[in-house]
Protein backbone atom coordinates (compact mmCIF):
# COMPACT_ATOMS: atom_id res chain seq x y z
CA UNK A 1 0.00 0.00 0.00
CA UNK A 2 1.40 3.33 -1.09
CA UNK A 3 -0.07 6.65 0.16
CA UNK A 4 0.91 9.87 -1.59
CA UNK A 5 -0.46 13.27 -0.59
CA UNK A 6 -0.21 16.10 -3.06
CA UNK A 7 -1.90 19.39 -3.93
CA UNK A 8 -5.20 18.96 -5.73
CA UNK A 9 -5.76 20.46 -9.15
CA UNK A 10 -8.93 22.25 -10.20
CA UNK A 11 -9.78 19.45 -12.64
CA UNK A 12 -10.17 17.12 -9.61
CA UNK A 13 -12.88 19.17 -7.91
CA UNK A 14 -15.71 17.02 -9.29
CA UNK A 15 -13.97 13.90 -7.95
CA UNK A 16 -13.47 15.58 -4.57
CA UNK A 17 -17.16 16.52 -4.53
CA UNK A 18 -18.11 12.91 -5.29
CA UNK A 19 -15.99 11.72 -2.36
CA UNK A 20 -17.68 14.38 -0.22
CA UNK A 21 -21.18 13.21 -1.12
CA UNK A 22 -20.20 9.58 -0.52
CA UNK A 23 -18.70 10.36 2.86
CA UNK A 24 -20.92 12.93 4.57
CA UNK A 25 -24.30 11.18 4.69
CA UNK A 26 -25.47 11.27 8.31
CA UNK A 27 -22.51 13.36 9.46
CA UNK A 28 -23.18 16.81 7.99
CA UNK A 29 -25.36 19.72 8.99
CA UNK A 30 -26.71 19.83 5.43
CA UNK A 31 -27.92 16.23 5.67
CA UNK A 32 -29.50 16.92 9.07
CA UNK A 33 -31.36 19.95 7.71
CA UNK A 34 -32.79 17.87 4.88
CA UNK A 35 -33.82 15.09 7.25
CA UNK A 36 -35.76 17.59 9.38
CA UNK A 37 -37.07 20.02 6.75
CA UNK A 38 -36.92 18.13 3.46
CA UNK A 39 -35.36 19.30 0.20
CA UNK A 40 -35.14 23.09 0.13
CA UNK A 41 -34.96 25.51 -2.81
CA UNK A 42 -34.92 22.57 -5.20
CA UNK A 43 -31.53 21.30 -4.01
CA UNK A 44 -30.74 18.29 -1.84
CA UNK A 45 -28.12 18.09 0.92
CA UNK A 46 -25.59 16.55 -1.48
CA UNK A 47 -25.69 19.61 -3.71
CA UNK A 48 -25.31 21.89 -0.69
CA UNK A 49 -22.42 19.92 0.81
CA UNK A 50 -20.60 19.70 -2.54
CA UNK A 51 -20.70 23.50 -2.74
CA UNK A 52 -18.52 23.61 0.39
CA UNK A 53 -15.68 22.31 -1.78
CA UNK A 54 -16.10 25.27 -4.15
CA UNK A 55 -15.93 27.60 -1.14
CA UNK A 56 -12.82 25.87 0.22
CA UNK A 57 -11.15 26.09 -3.20
CA UNK A 58 -12.06 29.78 -3.49
CA UNK A 59 -10.71 30.47 0.01
CA UNK A 60 -7.38 28.70 -0.51
CA UNK A 61 -6.76 26.50 -3.57
CA UNK A 62 -3.19 25.87 -2.36
CA UNK A 63 -4.68 24.26 0.76
CA UNK A 64 -6.65 21.53 -0.97
CA UNK A 65 -4.78 18.23 -0.88
CA UNK A 66 -5.62 14.78 -2.18
CA UNK A 67 -4.43 11.41 -0.95
CA UNK A 68 -3.62 8.82 -3.56
CA UNK A 69 -3.74 5.19 -2.58
CA UNK A 70 -1.81 3.03 -5.02
CA UNK A 71 -2.07 5.80 -7.64
CA UNK A 72 -5.80 6.61 -7.33
CA UNK A 73 -7.34 9.53 -5.43
CA UNK A 74 -8.99 8.03 -2.35
CA UNK A 75 -9.41 11.05 -0.08
CA UNK A 76 -8.85 14.75 0.41
CA UNK A 77 -8.52 17.51 2.99
CA UNK A 78 -9.09 21.25 2.76
CA UNK A 79 -7.01 23.70 4.75
CA UNK A 80 -7.87 27.36 5.19
CA UNK A 81 -5.30 29.83 6.53
CA UNK A 82 -6.11 32.85 8.73
CA UNK A 83 -2.67 34.37 9.19
CA UNK A 84 -3.91 37.38 11.17
CA UNK A 85 -5.45 35.07 13.79
CA UNK A 86 -2.61 32.54 13.59
CA UNK A 87 -5.23 29.88 12.86
CA UNK A 88 -5.52 27.05 10.40
CA UNK A 89 -8.95 25.52 9.82
CA UNK A 90 -9.80 22.16 8.30
CA UNK A 91 -13.34 22.54 6.92
CA UNK A 92 -13.52 19.23 5.07
CA UNK A 93 -11.83 15.83 5.20
CA UNK A 94 -13.09 12.66 3.56
CA UNK A 95 -11.85 9.23 2.49
CA UNK A 96 -13.65 6.88 0.12
CA UNK A 97 -15.44 3.96 1.75
CA UNK A 98 -13.13 1.46 0.06
CA UNK A 99 -10.00 3.15 1.46
CA UNK A 100 -11.10 3.73 5.05
CA UNK A 101 -9.13 2.16 7.88
CA UNK A 102 -5.79 2.43 6.05
CA UNK A 103 -4.48 5.60 7.64
CA UNK A 104 -5.39 8.08 4.88
CA UNK A 105 -7.41 10.36 7.16
CA UNK A 106 -4.60 10.54 9.69
CA UNK A 107 -2.01 11.12 6.95
CA UNK A 108 -4.14 13.93 5.50
CA UNK A 109 -4.49 15.58 8.91
CA UNK A 110 -0.73 15.34 9.50
CA UNK A 111 -0.14 16.89 6.08
CA UNK A 112 -2.53 19.78 6.79
CA UNK A 113 -0.93 20.40 10.19
CA UNK A 114 2.53 20.49 8.59
CA UNK A 115 1.17 22.92 5.99
CA UNK A 116 -0.17 25.17 8.77
CA UNK A 117 3.15 25.02 10.65
CA UNK A 118 5.02 25.98 7.47
CA UNK A 119 2.71 29.01 7.22
CA UNK A 120 3.75 30.02 10.76
CA UNK A 121 0.30 29.46 12.28
CA UNK A 122 -0.11 28.85 16.01
CA UNK A 123 -3.12 26.55 16.15
CA UNK A 124 -5.51 24.51 14.06
CA UNK A 125 -9.20 23.76 14.39
CA UNK A 126 -11.44 21.03 13.05
CA UNK A 127 -15.01 20.10 13.92
CA UNK A 128 -17.21 17.06 13.68
CA UNK A 129 -20.81 16.12 14.26
CA UNK A 130 -21.94 14.11 17.29
CA UNK A 131 -23.04 11.49 14.74
CA UNK A 132 -19.45 10.99 13.51
CA UNK A 133 -17.64 8.54 15.81
CA UNK A 134 -14.68 8.30 13.43
CA UNK A 135 -13.97 12.02 13.71
CA UNK A 136 -14.48 11.93 17.47
CA UNK A 137 -11.77 9.29 17.69
CA UNK A 138 -9.39 10.43 14.94
CA UNK A 139 -9.16 14.12 15.83
CA UNK A 140 -8.13 13.71 19.49
CA UNK A 141 -5.65 11.00 18.50
CA UNK A 142 -4.18 13.52 16.03
CA UNK A 143 -3.55 16.06 18.79
CA UNK A 144 -6.80 18.04 18.83
CA UNK A 145 -8.61 18.70 22.10
CA UNK A 146 -12.32 19.38 22.46
CA UNK A 147 -12.90 23.05 23.23
CA UNK A 148 -16.68 23.34 22.91
CA UNK A 149 -19.91 21.93 21.54
CA UNK A 150 -22.46 23.54 19.28
CA UNK A 151 -26.05 22.72 18.41
CA UNK A 152 -27.34 23.59 14.95
CA UNK A 153 -30.95 24.71 14.46
CA UNK A 154 -32.88 25.32 11.25
CA UNK A 155 -36.42 26.40 10.34
CA UNK A 156 -38.44 26.80 7.20
CA UNK A 157 -39.20 30.35 6.11
What's the confidence (pLDDT) of residue 2? 87
The fold adopted by the segment(s) 3-141 is: Aminopeptidase (3.40.630)
Phi and psi, residue 127, nearest 5° = -135, 160
The model carries a pTM of 0.94
Mark 86-98 as b/e (b = at least 16 C-beta within 10 Å): eebbbbbbbbbee
Tell me how far apart the alpha carbons of residues 144 and 29 are, in angstroms, rounded to a whole number: 21
The string of pLDDT tens digits covering residues 85-131 is: 999 999 999 999 999 999 999 999 999 999 999 999 999 999 999 99
Tell me how far apart the alpha carbons of residues 32 and 95 are, in angstroms, rounded to a whole number: 20
Amino acid sequence: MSIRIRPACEAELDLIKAITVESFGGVSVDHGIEQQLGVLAGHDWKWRKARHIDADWAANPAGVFVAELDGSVAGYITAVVDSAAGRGRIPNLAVTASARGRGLGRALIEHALAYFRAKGLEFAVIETMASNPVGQSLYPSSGFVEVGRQIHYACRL
